[in-house]
A and B are shown apart, each in its own frame.
Chain A
Amino acid sequence: SQKIEQNSEALNIQEGKTATLTCNYTNYSPAYLQWYRQDPGRGPVFLLLIRENEKEKRKERLKVTFDTTLKQSLFHITASQPADSATYLCALASNFNKFYFGSGTKLNVKP
């Protein structure tokens, strides 16, 4: 069965630095990959979507890469701020509308 791995350990970085989060997957060939942000006690909020034929996507301070050979997506937040502290989830889907989520990586941005 498919497996999606995100670093379960929290990522601690200093304000202003670039945060890089990893999403690895096995036994799956997703057509789409999405990244979500989840704050404590709240539902996930969509951030970015990238398709299998796209290498990179950007939105303001966010950048996502998708390497289908390595079966990996990297999520970057440049010029990080304490307000970026949250748990970030990756979600993979085929063309059949079914999403598989990773367990998320908690990001702590320290002032």
Chain B
Amino acid sequence: DTAVSQTPKYLVTQMGNDKSIKCEQNLGHDTMYWYKQDSKKFLKIMFSYNNKELIINETVPNRFSPKSPDKAHLNLHINSLELGDSAVYFCASSQDGTGAKNEQFFGPGTRLTVL
């Protein structure tokens, strides 16, 4: 009965490839997020969706494209992977769009390594 799940947990791939990370939450939350945590442990928001609509889109290369088929799922597709994309990617969810007031529930993370 995992609250926020991500697949895969580890992803090793070559530069130039295209890959996807999937995220699902069973908490009934309206808002979902993607974060990137780099080697210095900074956690940076990339995208946020509320009821399948994009509400936050930080300065992220357009090689990154989120997709929310329904409010329980938020997937991240990355085209033409680069070395600098290597990081841990976390999915999170919160109860509603006012995420600032509500706690965020994080998934276990996906460690992406680009060779």
Contacts and interface: CB of A to CB of B under 8 A. Distances in A.
Interface residues of B, number: 27
Interface in B32-51: 35, 40-45, 48
Interface stretch (B14-22, B62-70, B78-86, B100-108): B100-108
Contacts of B56: 97-98
B108 to A, nearest CB: 6
Interface string A80-108: 00000001010101111111111110000
B92 to A, nearest CB: 7
B95 to A, nearest CB: 12
Contacts of B105: 46
Interface in A48-103: 49, 87, 89, 91, 93-103
Given A42-B108, A43-B109, A99 B41 contact: no
B27 interface: no
B93 to A, nearest CB: 11
A49 B103 CA distance: 8
Contacts of B31: 97
Given A43-B92, A103-B41, A32 B108 contact: no
A31 interface: yes
The contact size tier of chain A is: 20 to 34
Contact of B97 (A31, A89, A94, A97): A97
Interface in A1-52: 31-32, 34, 41-46, 49
Contacts of A99: 45, 99-100, 104
Nearest to B38: A103
A97 B41 CA distance: 21
B98 interface: yes
A13 B27 CA distance: 36
Contact of B106 (A44, A49, A97): A44
Interface of A: 31-32, 34, 41-46, 49, 87, 89, 91, 93-104
Interface of B: 4, 31, 35, 40-45, 48, 55-56, 58, 90, 92, 97-101, 103-109
